[in-house]
């Protein structure tokens, strides 16, 4: 097995950190806003529009945060 240098270890850890952050950036808004949308669906009897609206807003939020993250990493 090939020996991994300290710099390569740092790069692997850095990549895993970015991967984990992306997961949270996408999952947290999607699940939270889908949940709030389902509550709105039940309260106002507008199913499935509350969940759909929540997921669209989550997509916009996640896309914006990922875009800013990419711009920051390009520097």
Cα–Cα distance, 19 to 68 (Å, whole number) = 15
5: in domain: no
38: in domain: yes
Q: How confident is the model at residue 42 (pLDDT cuts 50, 70, 90)?
A: very high
The pTM of the full predicted model, rounded to 2 decimals, is 0.85
* pLDDT per position as a tens digit, 3-36: 778 888 889 999 999 999 999 999 999 999 999 9
**Cis check: omega of the bond before 13, within 30 degrees of 0:** no
56: in domain: yes
Q: Which domain holds residue 28?
A: 24-74
12: in domain: no
7: in domain: no
Looking at the structure of the chain, the number of domains it has is 1
CB 38 within 8 A of CB 51: yes
Average pLDDT rounded to a whole number, residues 37-51: 97
10: in domain: no
């Amino acid at each position: 097995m090939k020996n991994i240098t300290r710099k390569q270890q740092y790069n692997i850890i850095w990549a895993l950190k970015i991967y984990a952050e992306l997961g949270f950036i996408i999952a947290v808004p999607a699940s939270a806003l889908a949940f709030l949308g389902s509550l709105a669906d039940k309260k106002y009897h507008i199913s499935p529009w509350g969940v759909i609206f929540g997921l669209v807003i989550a997509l916009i939020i996640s896309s914006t945060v990922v875009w800013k993250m990419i711009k920051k990493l390009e520097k």
